[in-house]
Each structure stands twice: as structure tokens, then as C-alpha cells.
Amino acid sequence: DAGVIQSPRHEVTEMGQEVTLRCKPISGHDYLFWYRQTMMRGLELLIYFNNNVPIDDSGMPEDRFSAKMPNASFSTLKIQPSEPRDSAVYFCASSFFGGVRGEAFFGQGTRLTVV
Amino acid sequence: RKEVEQDPGPFNVPEGATVAFNCTYSNSASQSFFWYRQDCRKEPKLLMSVYSSGNEDGRFTAQLNRASQYISLLIRDSKLSDSATYLCVVNKVDMRFGAGTRLTVKP
């Protein structure tokens, strides 16, 4: 299995631009998580899906952030418009049975820089 | 109060030392517990699960104290390669991470 695949690995964009981060979870996993990591705030859970349905988006910082999972093999996290404070590493992770039984496998992350 | 809190660290220890990290959680309904390791500029990876009876994997021992709502990770005979950030994970269904504890093992 190729593991969780995220793209792009690096993204540099100008303030105000739309940014779309992509994630392909491990086949067969039923949970998908989006995290944001910064030095100041650590690893924050933004949103997670179960069977393609958003379950908890309370971690999404504001309306500029949105996430979708149109099918079991693809998810996107969109920021529109982007701001410099959105600069962080964004991780996608997937698991089977959520965290109750299974570990979460992480993608390599997208390092976002908003200038 | 945060759902998951960890020793802030950083921990700087010599090779061969024994070091322990703690992680407290606020939700008594939490069912699963894990320790993850994250190397610099890499993604977190599972180090070990934490079972109610405690468990050991080589030099690493994980323990759970439900009454006091904390988990611990003990590393014996530290190696240079153990230098990393260690994150605890506590969950009901979601996977919420502690802020992580930075460990540096020095020669």
C-alpha cells in the first residue's frame, strides 16, 4: 500500500489567493483526519470524516476553511482567501474504525507558506 | 482545560539515561491511547499503543492510569536515535494529540 498521499508537498502562495490541499487516504480506511501543525499550537485537529461524512469540524479556524470528501479515496482542504497566519504544515491521516481501535497513518504533509 | 496535556519539555538527556514522559487527559470516556513519534520535518508515526495493563516494547514501556487519567512513556537506555518529539494521543473516536515533548539525547 502506498500509504496516505498528500499533494502538493510544498505550497507558496500570496495572501488572498485560494489554496487547495489534497489527500488520498489508505484504501479501506473509514476515517480521515485533517490536522494543522505549528510551533505555537502543536498538532491541531481541524476536521474529520467517517465514511465520507464530516463528523466534527469544530477545529476549523474560521469560514475561510472548508473541507470535502466526495468519495472514499479523496479529500480536499480549501482555504479561501489565504492569510499569512495560515502558514503551517497540514497533515492528512486515515484510520480504520477511527481511533477507537486503529492507529492513524499520516501523509507526509503539505508545507504551506502564505506571503 | 485542554483535552490532552503533555510535559512541555524539552528533555535533554545523555545517552544511556532513562527518561519518562507523562500525558494527562480530561475525558474519562476516552477509550484508546497511543504514543506517536515525530522526527523533525516528518509526519507523526505510531510508536506504541497503550494498554490498560501496561505494555513494553524493547526499551519502551507505556502505562495507563485511568483513575488519575494519565498515560506515561518510559524510555530506558536512551539512544541518540531516540531524539524526536513524542506525542500522546487520547481519543473517543477522534484522534486528539498532545502538544508533544521534545527529547534530545546527547553523546
pLDDT digits (tens, 9 = 90+) for A1-55: 689 999 999 999 999 999 999 999 999 999 999 999 998 888 999 999 999 999 9
Q: What pLDDT, on the 0 to 100 scale, is given for residue B51?
A: 84
Is the pLDDT at A98 greater than 70, yes or no? no
Q: Out of A48-57, A74-83, B1-10, B51-60, which region has the weakest mean confidence (pLDDT)?
A: B1-10
Q: Is A74 helix (H, G, I), strand (E, B) or coil?
A: strand
Chain A: residue whose CA lies nearest to B8: A42
Is the pLDDT at A100 greater than 70, yes or no? no
A43-68 burial code (b ≥16 CB/10 A, e <16): bbbbbbbbeeebbeeebbeeeebebe
> What spatial distance separates the first Cα and last Cα of chain B, rounded to whole Å?
37
What average pLDDT does the structure give for chain A?
Answer: 93
Give which of A33, A14, A15, A17 is closest to A25, Cα–Cα: A33
Q: What pLDDT, on the 0 to 100 scale, is given for residue A99?
A: 59
Cβ-nearest to B43 among A56, A91, A103: A91
Cβ-nearest to A108 among B43, B94, B98: B43
Q: What pLDDT, on the 0 to 100 scale, is given for residue B43?
A: 96
Contacts of A99 in chain B (CB under 8 A): 32, 34, 89, 91-95
Average pLDDT of B36-54? 92
The C-alpha of A64 sits at a distance from chain B's nearest C-alpha, in angstroms, of: 22
Q: What pLDDT, on the 0 to 100 scale, is given for residue A20?
A: 98
Give which of B11, B10, B52, B8 is closest to B31, Cα–Cα: B52
- Percentage above 70 pLDDT, chain B: 98
Cβ B95–A48 below 8 Å, yes or no? yes
B80 confidence band (pLDDT: 50, 70, 90)? very high
Cβ A43–B97 below 8 Å, yes or no? yes
Report the distance separating Cα B14 and Cα B105, nearest Å: 5
Q: What pLDDT, on the 0 to 100 scale, is given for residue A29?
A: 93
Q: Which of B23, B43, B86 to mutate to test the interface with A (most CBs of A within 10 A)?
A: B43
Report the distance separating Cα A85 and Cα A104, nearest Å: 27
Q: What pLDDT, on the 0 to 100 scale, is given for residue B30?
A: 84
